[in-house]
Amino acid sequence: MFTGLIEHLGLVADIKRDEGGCTLTIGDSAPILGDCHIGDSIAVNGACLTVVEFDKEEKGGWFTVWLANETLDKTDLGERVVGEQVNLERAMAAHVRFGGHFVQAHVDTTVTLVDKVPDGDSTRLTFELADETMLPYLVPKGYAALDGASLTLTFVDDEQRRFSVMLITHTQEKITLGKKKVGSKVNLEVDMLGKYVQKSVAAALRSSK
Protein backbone atom coordinates (compact mmCIF):
# COMPACT_ATOMS: atom_id res chain seq x y z
CA MET A 1 0.00 0.00 0.00
CA PHE A 2 1.16 3.51 -0.85
CA THR A 3 -0.05 7.06 -0.20
CA GLY A 4 0.70 8.88 -3.45
CA LEU A 5 3.07 11.27 -1.66
CA ILE A 6 6.28 11.12 -3.69
CA GLU A 7 9.34 10.78 -1.47
CA HIS A 8 12.16 11.30 -3.93
CA LEU A 9 13.06 11.76 -7.59
CA GLY A 10 15.37 9.01 -8.81
CA LEU A 11 17.33 8.89 -12.05
CA VAL A 12 17.11 6.14 -14.66
CA ALA A 13 20.69 4.83 -14.66
CA ASP A 14 20.47 1.70 -16.82
CA ILE A 15 17.96 -0.20 -18.96
CA LYS A 16 18.43 -3.77 -20.18
CA ARG A 17 15.74 -5.31 -22.39
CA ASP A 18 15.13 -8.85 -23.56
CA GLU A 19 12.18 -10.80 -24.90
CA GLY A 20 10.88 -11.42 -21.38
CA GLY A 21 10.79 -7.81 -20.23
CA CYS A 22 13.19 -5.21 -18.90
CA THR A 23 15.64 -4.66 -16.05
CA LEU A 24 15.57 -1.07 -14.82
CA THR A 25 18.20 0.45 -12.53
CA ILE A 26 17.31 3.66 -10.71
CA GLY A 27 20.20 5.75 -9.41
CA ASP A 28 20.48 8.81 -7.15
CA SER A 29 18.19 6.98 -4.74
CA ALA A 30 20.09 6.89 -1.45
CA PRO A 31 17.42 8.88 0.50
CA ILE A 32 14.93 6.00 0.19
CA LEU A 33 17.32 3.08 0.55
CA GLY A 34 18.24 3.43 4.23
CA ASP A 35 15.83 0.67 5.27
CA CYS A 36 15.72 -1.21 1.96
CA HIS A 37 15.83 -5.00 1.66
CA ILE A 38 15.77 -7.35 -1.30
CA GLY A 39 12.11 -8.06 -2.09
CA ASP A 40 10.83 -4.68 -0.88
CA SER A 41 8.25 -2.83 -2.96
CA ILE A 42 8.99 0.61 -4.38
CA ALA A 43 6.55 2.51 -6.58
CA VAL A 44 8.30 3.85 -9.66
CA ASN A 45 6.11 6.39 -11.48
CA GLY A 46 3.19 4.80 -9.68
CA ALA A 47 3.95 1.17 -10.57
CA CYS A 48 4.68 -1.19 -7.69
CA LEU A 49 7.96 -2.97 -8.43
CA THR A 50 10.11 -5.41 -6.46
CA VAL A 51 13.71 -4.58 -5.54
CA VAL A 52 15.98 -7.38 -6.79
CA GLU A 53 19.33 -5.69 -6.13
CA PHE A 54 20.53 -2.46 -4.51
CA ASP A 55 23.48 -0.52 -3.11
CA LYS A 56 22.90 2.27 -0.59
CA GLU A 57 26.08 4.20 -1.31
CA GLU A 58 27.55 3.51 -4.75
CA LYS A 59 26.77 6.24 -7.32
CA GLY A 60 24.41 8.04 -4.97
CA GLY A 61 22.55 4.84 -4.13
CA TRP A 62 20.82 2.64 -6.69
CA PHE A 63 18.32 -0.21 -6.94
CA THR A 64 17.26 -2.57 -9.69
CA VAL A 65 13.77 -3.82 -10.54
CA TRP A 66 12.40 -6.23 -13.13
CA LEU A 67 9.52 -5.22 -15.41
CA ALA A 68 7.51 -7.96 -17.10
CA ASN A 69 6.04 -7.30 -20.54
CA GLU A 70 2.63 -6.85 -18.92
CA THR A 71 4.01 -3.94 -16.89
CA LEU A 72 5.64 -2.43 -19.96
CA ASP A 73 2.34 -2.66 -21.84
CA LYS A 74 0.22 -1.15 -19.05
CA THR A 75 2.51 1.70 -17.96
CA ASP A 76 4.71 4.44 -19.38
CA LEU A 77 7.88 2.82 -18.00
CA GLY A 78 8.75 1.25 -21.34
CA GLU A 79 9.22 4.77 -22.74
CA ARG A 80 11.70 5.92 -20.12
CA VAL A 81 15.30 6.55 -21.15
CA VAL A 82 18.58 6.76 -19.27
CA GLY A 83 18.96 10.13 -17.56
CA GLU A 84 15.24 10.74 -16.97
CA GLN A 85 13.83 11.33 -13.51
CA VAL A 86 11.14 9.09 -12.04
CA ASN A 87 8.86 9.45 -9.02
CA LEU A 88 9.71 7.13 -6.12
CA GLU A 89 7.74 6.09 -3.05
CA ARG A 90 8.40 3.26 -0.63
CA ALA A 91 5.53 1.08 0.55
CA MET A 92 3.76 2.72 3.48
CA ALA A 93 4.81 1.65 6.99
CA ALA A 94 2.03 0.95 9.50
CA HIS A 95 3.31 3.49 12.04
CA VAL A 96 3.42 6.59 9.81
CA ARG A 97 0.82 9.28 9.13
CA PHE A 98 -1.39 8.65 6.12
CA GLY A 99 -1.20 11.88 4.12
CA GLY A 100 -2.38 11.05 0.59
CA HIS A 101 -5.00 8.50 -0.44
CA PHE A 102 -5.17 4.72 -0.77
CA VAL A 103 -2.81 3.87 -3.64
CA GLN A 104 -2.07 0.28 -4.62
CA ALA A 105 0.49 1.26 -7.29
CA HIS A 106 -1.36 -1.03 -9.71
CA VAL A 107 -1.56 1.18 -12.78
CA ASP A 108 -4.96 0.97 -14.49
CA THR A 109 -4.04 2.60 -17.78
CA THR A 110 -2.05 5.43 -19.32
CA VAL A 111 -3.49 8.80 -20.28
CA THR A 112 -2.16 11.47 -22.61
CA LEU A 113 -1.20 14.96 -21.48
CA VAL A 114 -3.11 17.18 -23.93
CA ASP A 115 -2.85 20.65 -22.38
CA LYS A 116 -0.53 22.49 -19.99
CA VAL A 117 -1.49 26.02 -18.97
CA PRO A 118 0.09 28.34 -16.38
CA ASP A 119 -2.35 29.65 -13.76
CA GLY A 120 -0.56 32.18 -11.56
CA ASP A 121 2.23 30.31 -9.81
CA SER A 122 0.46 27.02 -10.51
CA THR A 123 0.09 24.91 -13.66
CA ARG A 124 -3.13 23.30 -14.89
CA LEU A 125 -2.65 19.96 -16.65
CA THR A 126 -5.35 18.29 -18.75
CA PHE A 127 -5.30 14.61 -19.69
CA GLU A 128 -7.27 12.51 -22.14
CA LEU A 129 -8.30 8.87 -21.79
CA ALA A 130 -8.14 6.53 -24.77
CA ASP A 131 -11.57 5.06 -23.91
CA GLU A 132 -14.38 5.34 -21.35
CA THR A 133 -13.42 2.42 -19.10
CA MET A 134 -12.02 4.50 -16.23
CA LEU A 135 -14.39 7.48 -16.52
CA PRO A 136 -16.85 6.25 -13.83
CA TYR A 137 -14.08 6.55 -11.23
CA LEU A 138 -13.08 10.13 -12.09
CA VAL A 139 -15.16 12.82 -10.37
CA PRO A 140 -14.53 16.53 -9.68
CA LYS A 141 -12.81 17.00 -6.31
CA GLY A 142 -12.07 13.29 -6.23
CA TYR A 143 -8.54 12.00 -6.51
CA ALA A 144 -6.35 9.86 -8.71
CA ALA A 145 -2.71 8.83 -8.80
CA LEU A 146 -0.82 10.24 -11.81
CA ASP A 147 2.66 8.76 -12.20
CA GLY A 148 2.18 7.74 -8.58
CA ALA A 149 1.36 11.23 -7.25
CA SER A 150 -1.93 11.67 -5.37
CA LEU A 151 -3.73 14.62 -6.99
CA THR A 152 -7.18 16.20 -6.74
CA LEU A 153 -9.23 16.38 -9.94
CA THR A 154 -10.34 19.95 -10.64
CA PHE A 155 -12.35 19.22 -13.80
CA VAL A 156 -13.87 16.19 -15.54
CA ASP A 157 -15.46 16.15 -19.02
CA ASP A 158 -17.03 12.75 -19.70
CA GLU A 159 -17.90 13.56 -23.32
CA GLN A 160 -14.34 14.44 -24.26
CA ARG A 161 -12.89 11.82 -21.88
CA ARG A 162 -10.75 14.53 -20.27
CA PHE A 163 -9.87 15.60 -16.75
CA SER A 164 -7.60 18.22 -15.19
CA VAL A 165 -5.42 18.70 -12.11
CA MET A 166 -3.62 21.72 -10.69
CA LEU A 167 0.03 21.61 -9.62
CA ILE A 168 1.14 24.23 -7.11
CA THR A 169 4.76 25.39 -7.21
CA HIS A 170 5.85 23.05 -4.40
CA THR A 171 4.35 20.01 -6.15
CA GLN A 172 5.96 20.94 -9.47
CA GLU A 173 9.35 20.85 -7.75
CA LYS A 174 8.78 17.51 -6.03
CA ILE A 175 7.38 15.32 -8.86
CA THR A 176 8.12 14.73 -12.54
CA LEU A 177 4.65 15.54 -13.84
CA GLY A 178 5.23 19.27 -14.28
CA LYS A 179 8.24 18.54 -16.49
CA LYS A 180 6.36 16.36 -18.95
CA LYS A 181 5.54 17.74 -22.39
CA VAL A 182 2.16 17.83 -24.11
CA GLY A 183 1.69 14.49 -25.86
CA SER A 184 3.46 12.50 -23.12
CA LYS A 185 1.93 9.38 -21.61
CA VAL A 186 1.21 9.36 -17.86
CA ASN A 187 0.33 6.42 -15.60
CA LEU A 188 -3.16 6.56 -14.10
CA GLU A 189 -4.51 4.69 -11.09
CA VAL A 190 -8.09 5.52 -10.19
CA ASP A 191 -9.62 5.43 -6.70
CA MET A 192 -9.81 1.78 -5.68
CA LEU A 193 -12.65 2.55 -3.24
CA GLY A 194 -14.70 3.71 -6.20
CA LYS A 195 -14.14 0.33 -7.86
CA TYR A 196 -15.45 -1.51 -4.80
CA VAL A 197 -18.48 0.77 -4.54
CA GLN A 198 -19.36 0.26 -8.20
CA LYS A 199 -19.00 -3.52 -7.94
CA SER A 200 -21.13 -3.65 -4.77
CA VAL A 201 -23.88 -1.50 -6.28
CA ALA A 202 -23.87 -3.53 -9.50
CA ALA A 203 -24.16 -6.77 -7.49
CA ALA A 204 -27.01 -5.34 -5.41
CA LEU A 205 -28.90 -4.26 -8.53
CA ARG A 206 -28.49 -7.72 -10.09
CA SER A 207 -29.78 -9.46 -6.99
CA SER A 208 -32.83 -7.20 -6.78
CA LYS A 209 -34.10 -8.27 -10.21
Is 22 one of the catalytic residues? no
Residue 181: strand, helix, or coil? coil
**Is 126 within 8 Å of 151 (Cβ atoms)?**
no
Is 106 one of the catalytic residues? yes
Q: In 3-state terms, the chain is what percent helix, strand and coil (to 5)?
A: 20, 40, 35
Is 152 one of the catalytic residues? yes
Catalytic residue among 2, 63, 127, 163: 2
Is 36 one of the catalytic residues? no
How many Å apart are CA 63 and CA 158, to the nearest integer?
40
Is 176 one of the catalytic residues? no
**Cβ contacts of 94-99, under 8 Å, gap ≥ 24:** 98/3, 99/3, 99/5
Query: Which of 178, 118, 194 lies closest to 146 in space, CA to CA?
Result: 178
Residue 51: strand, helix, or coil? strand
Catalytic residue among 68, 91, 130, 203: 68
Catalytic residue among 91, 98, 106, 203: 106
β-strand partners of 188 = 109, 146
Nearest-Å Rg of the Cα atoms of the chain is 18
Catalytic residue among 3, 22, 98, 152: 152
Catalytic residue among 13, 36, 48, 149: 48
Catalytic residue among 23, 41, 109, 154: 41
Point out the residues that are catalytic: 2, 41, 48, 50, 68, 106, 152
